[in-house]
Amino acid sequence: MGPINSNSPEQRVARLIERDAYLERYASVLLRRLHNVEATRLRITEGRVALPELASGHEYFGLHFRDGHWVLREWAPNAVSIHLKGPFSDWRPDPKYALSREGTEGVWEVELPEAMLAHGDPYRLEVRWPGGGGDRLPAWARRPSAPLLVYEAHVGMAQAEPKVGTYEEFRTNVLPRIRDAGYEAVQIMALAEHPYYASFGYQVSSYFACSSRFGTPEELKALVDDAHGMGLRIFMDLVHSHAGRNEVEGISSQDGTPSLYFHEGPRGEHPAWNSRCFDYAKPQVLHFLLSNCRFWMDEFRMDGFRFDGVTSMLYLDHGLSRAFSGYDDYFGPNVDEDALTYLTLANELIHDLWPDAVTIAEDVSGYPGLALPLSEGGAGFDYRFAMGVADTWIELTKDVPDEEWSLAQLWHELTNRRRDEGTISYAESHDQALVGDQTLIFRLI
């Protein structure tokens, strides 16, 4: 037998164990998970295309103008009929705008002459399935019309006036202040469309549409361009950990089945967030989410992503009320290995598209190797997001008199991390500033 490939799963596991000898007893689990990544990549690409080529579904699905005509495609295997409707059809299901089912994979398609639609027309789908039907927005829609969806993003909170700000105001008023303060990157929350104000953008409905409350996609692109001109990088909060349960505005029941993009039964429901949980084992779901990563890089030139809710993705119990006190927590049956595989493939894709892209994992569990390169047996994130540091600062300033601060506890929280993995720590984050608390400056005053 010849030598093992230096980048084989076996060699990557060996390098991971060299970093942390405690992982040796879990070598078989690590190896199985890396083999699962390889097998899943082969399954979804069928060995015929590279991962970046596969993750171009946004160029196929959704509404596009191609070669002098409009083409709309949607994945809805349970549907029995789909009609595109809007002001051009008096918002009624006109046979001229009926989609046809193509092949056996549940893909529906319609081609329309240029004159039948105009740029800027609002539109939606009327989907019928056995026993029912309803209006739906296309899952790959890039620009849901403002009257149908009313959103707020944190771009809107960054203004001095008591009003919702815009991409333009953020571009002209806020970006220069960020640059002048010496920062190098801007992490923008809630860019994808979301119907519920109080979710702060964390219950997404349209994954390929930027939040329209603040302006147009062109204005967001101008914001990103100006940031790049100032030497700032733009990181997007990417919410692939769950989805809003809205049906008319979202993808919760796109073709009448609640499990099209999500798990069947209780596993498809997030008990703490009242949202839907993706089934990361489905090739079509992987195609959707990987294409979403590439879409934001291709279309808006995002420089990287902070993946929200990684702990919730990694564990079947979403990490709720779990202390993560030992290695068995990371290598037992509670780990969602399909989710881990997706995160690994997403990092591979993003860094293949642009090696300088930055990915950050919001994980409080301390999963070993999460922020190590794929070549070292890791999941490929560049950094972890250390949530405990911000929690500690707010707890101290809120509840503990200065003279009673424990330096030992503070030292532990500031240094409690895996030494060989990059970590980003904030003095405060959105959890402290927005979710029922106050900013540090208010506490200090």
d(CA 391, CA 404): 17
Distances (CA, A) of 271 to 204, 242, 266, 268: 17, 11, 9, 9
Q: Which two structure tokens, joined as six digits, stand for 204?
A: 């997404």
**29 three-state secondary structure:** helix
**Cβ atoms of residues 110 and 98 within 8 Å:** yes
**Cβ atoms of residues 9 and 31 within 8 Å:** yes
Residue type at 210 in one-letter notation: C
Beta strands in 223-282 (DSSP E): 233-238, 269-270, 275-276
| Nearest Cα residue to 359 out of 393, 394, 322, 385 | 385
Beta strands in 211-369 (DSSP E): 233-238, 269-270, 275-276, 304-307, 358-361
Rg (CA), the chain: 23
d(CA 59, CA 63): 9
Scanning the structure block, which residue is given the tokens 């079509």?
284
Query: Is there a catalytic annotation at residue 308?
Result: yes
Give backbone dihedrals phi and psi of 368, rounded to 5 degrees, phi first.
-65, 135
In DSSP terms, which residues pair with 110 in a beta bridge? Answer: 72
Determine which one of 362, 363, 382, 413 is catalytic: 362
Q: Which two structure tokens, joined as six digits, stand for 282?
A: 């489905």
Three-state SS annotation for 64-84: EEECCEEEEEEECCCCCEEEE
Determine which one of 126, 308, 337, 413 is catalytic: 308
**Cβ atoms of residues 247 and 214 within 8 Å:** no
d(CA 45, CA 56): 12
Phi-psi region of 274 (alpha: psi -120 to 50; beta: other; left: phi over 0): left
Sign, CA dihedral 372-373-377-378, equals: positive
Give catalytic residues, as residue numbers. 308, 362
